[in-house]
Structure 1
Amino acid sequence: MDTELLKTFLEVSKTRHFGRAAEALYLTQSAVSFRIRQLENQLGVNLFTRHRNNIRLTSAGERLLPYAENLMNTWLAAKKDVAHTSNHNEISIGASAALWECMLGPWLASIYALHPGIQLEARIAQRQSLVKQVHERQLDLLVTTEPPKMDEFVSQQLLTFDLNLFCATPSKHHSELNYLRLEWGPDFQHHNAEKASVEGTPVLTTTSANITRSLLKTLDGYTWLPVRWAQTMPDLSVVAHSKPIQRPLYAIWLQNSDKQQQIHDLLRNPFPGHE
């Protein structure tokens, strides 16, 4: 179906006037009438009743209206998405909210500084969803603390970073505080199961480091945060007697990705504070 026919139908249904619809579409009135007749012939029904200047939708037209709106919205979204991704200079990067907030923001800034004109999409989602998007070629690059075990993926370790327990009150022990669980992935939880008694039952679970940090004082809580990130914030204190845990950071992409060269160029950019 010609989407211009649907576009014309929607304009006539909105204005209820062939002349005004023609002005809005930069067409002649006869062209608008011809398009509506074409659409009616394709569907085998009358879409409008025409009595002089009184243009109304028929029952068939009323039924078509929501479908036409959905089809046009889908078509416009498809055009935008195809045009967006056809630019070979664009790369989509996905990571959890915590990684974007704690580590990847400054990295993006350094990329833009070194690669003028580059176009990036920073996508936030949970790891499982992002792995699926890479696999389905909807995402070019995944940054995560846990590499998926799939043969078609390339995995490159970028760096290691330390997590430690932080709170908003100096010199407090974890037993005096409420645990706020910031999601660092199932692998982190599995390998630190022995620390469950330290962590306790969370009063908050989230993927956002900024939300967690903002509620530490309000909830009298503590949580795992990257040491390098938290050390720049005077409102945070290390929980008494806590010890840091080291975590890896990986870049993941498809072996046969058509963005191989761009990805390699990006990964040459050092992470600020981790050179």
Structure 2
Amino acid sequence: MDTELLKTFLEVSRTRHFGRAAEALYLTQSAVSFRIRQLENQLGVNLFTRHRNNIRLTSAGERLLPYAESLMNTWQMAKKEVSHTQQHHELSIGASASLWEAYLTPWLQTLYQQRESLHLEARIAQRHLMVKQLHERQLDLLITTEAPKMDELTSHQIGHISLALFRSRKSEKKEKYDYIKLEWGADFHQHENYLAGADDIPVLTTTSAHLTRQLLHTTGACAFLPDFWETEYSDLLSIQDTAVVLRPLYAVWLQNSDQQTHIRQLIKLPVNI
């Protein structure tokens, strides 16, 4: 379907006059008539009844009208989105909720403060879904604690994160606490094994660091959270005799991504942990 035919149809239906439609579209009247005939031939129906200057929509034209308006609106939105992306080099960045909440939001704030005309999309999803989106070119950049070992992907370490084991300051001191399992990577279980027996089940499994912190007192549990949160949130108390866990932080993208230049510029700004 030629969108110019629909555009002409909509203008004629609005003005109910081929001459005025031609003026609005900067066309000759014969060109407008030709386009309407083309559209009618494609659809196999008459769209207008013509009696001298009295032009009216047929029943088929009335039925086409809302679809034509919807299609033209969709086409205009599509053109706007495509030109917007080309003009501003919009990048889509994906990470887990816990990374966004704890580490990447300040990094994003600094990016916007230091760079003009920056247009980004921040996505929250599980790592395996975002790896798939990278391959399908639905995502430009993935930030994760585990670099996928795939030849078609490029990985670059951009820093590390430090995690400590916390409980609520209001909770009673215990020898053993229940555990809230927070998403810090699929291989993070090696740091969790000593907290509970193999058969113990976390009281909560989540991808949100803020949700975890808010539920520590309610559940009487412990969880690994950013170590610097102890100075930011007075309700947190680190559990003694547990070591701080360091995790690498990687930027991952397709080797043949057409956004490589912009990605490399972006990751020059360190993630301050």
Report the TM-score, using the length of structure 2 for normalisation.
0.74
Between the aligned partners of 1:210 and 1:199, the Cα distance in structure 2 is: 27
Between the aligned partners of 1:138 and 1:2, the Cα distance in structure 2 is: 28
Secondary structure (helix, strand or coil) at the match of 2:256 reads coil
- 1:180 corresponds to which residue? 180
Between the aligned partners of 1:174 and 1:71, the Cα distance in structure 2 is: 64
Answer whether contact 1:18 1:33 (CA < 8 A) is retained.
Answer: no
- 1:149 corresponds to which residue? 149
> Are residue 189 (structure 1) and residue 182 (structure 2) matched?
no
Give 2:134's aligned amino acid.
V
Between the aligned partners of 1:4 and 1:218, the Cα distance in structure 2 is: 62
| Structure 1 residues 66 and 53: CA distance shift in structure 2, 3 A | closer
| Structure 1 residues 129 and 67: CA distance shift in structure 2, 3 A | farther
Answer whether contact 1:174 1:240 (CA < 8 A) is retained.
Answer: no
> Are residue 86 (structure 1) and residue 110 (structure 2) matched?
no
Answer whether contact 1:172 1:240 (CA < 8 A) is retained.
Answer: no
Between the aligned partners of 2:199 and 2:86, the Cα distance in structure 1 is: 47
- 1:111 corresponds to which residue? 111
Answer whether contact 1:153 1:252 (CA < 8 A) is retained.
Answer: yes
Q: How does 1:26-41 map to 2 (within 5 A)?
A: 38-41=38-41
Secondary structure (helix, strand or coil) at the match of 2:111 reads helix
Identity of aligned pairs, percent? 54
| Structure 1 residues 155 and 218: CA distance shift in structure 2, 3 A | same
Report the TM-score, using the length of structure 1 for normalisation.
0.74
Between the aligned partners of 2:40 and 2:161, the Cα distance in structure 1 is: 64
Between the aligned partners of 1:206 and 1:253, the Cα distance in structure 2 is: 26
Secondary structure (helix, strand or coil) at the match of 1:197 reads coil
Between the aligned partners of 1:239 and 1:50, the Cα distance in structure 2 is: 85
Between the aligned partners of 2:192 and 2:176, the Cα distance in structure 1 is: 21
| Structure 1 residues 38 and 98: CA distance shift in structure 2, 3 A | same
| Structure 1 residues 176 and 196: CA distance shift in structure 2, 3 A | closer
Answer whether contact 1:95 1:142 (CA < 8 A) is retained.
Answer: yes
Secondary structure (helix, strand or coil) at the match of 1:256 reads coil
- 2:139 corresponds to which residue? 139
Give the CA deviation at 1:138.
Answer: 2.9
Between the aligned partners of 2:135 and 2:108, the Cα distance in structure 1 is: 23
Secondary structure (helix, strand or coil) at the match of 1:45 reads coil
Between the aligned partners of 1:49 and 1:239, the Cα distance in structure 2 is: 82
Between the aligned partners of 1:153 and 1:164, the Cα distance in structure 2 is: 31
Give 2:117's aligned amino acid.
G
Q: How does 1:179-258 map to 2 (within 5 A)?
A: 179-189=179-189, 192-193=192-193, 195-197=195-197, 200-239=200-239, 241-258=241-258
Answer whether contact 2:88 2:117 (CA < 8 A) is retained.
Answer: no
Give 2:238's aligned amino acid.
V
Give the CA deviation at 1:148.
Answer: 0.7
Which has the larger Rg?
2
| Structure 1 residues 128 and 72: CA distance shift in structure 2, 3 A | farther
Deviation digits for residues 94-138 of structure 1 (CA, Å, limit 9, x no counterpart): 211111111011112222333333332222222122212222333
- 1:43 corresponds to which residue? 43
Aligned length: 265
Between the aligned partners of 2:100 and 2:145, the Cα distance in structure 1 is: 12
| Structure 1 residues 74 and 85: CA distance shift in structure 2, 3 A | same
Secondary structure (helix, strand or coil) at the match of 2:228 reads helix
Secondary structure (helix, strand or coil) at the match of 1:118 reads coil
Secondary structure (helix, strand or coil) at the match of 2:224 reads strand
| Structure 1 residues 83 and 171: CA distance shift in structure 2, 3 A | same
Answer whether contact 1:166 1:224 (CA < 8 A) is retained.
Answer: yes
Which stretches in structure 2 are left out of the alignment for 5+ residues? none
CA RMSD of aligned residues (A): 3.9
Which stretches in structure 1 are left out of the alignment for 5+ residues? none
Deviation digits for residues 145-170 of structure 1 (CA, Å, limit 9, x no counterpart): 01011112121112222222223334
| Structure 1 residues 154 and 35: CA distance shift in structure 2, 3 A | same
| Structure 1 residues 108 and 10: CA distance shift in structure 2, 3 A | same
Larger deviation, residues 179-188 vs 243-252: 179-188
Between the aligned partners of 2:122 and 2:133, the Cα distance in structure 1 is: 13
| Structure 1 residues 196 and 178: CA distance shift in structure 2, 3 A | closer
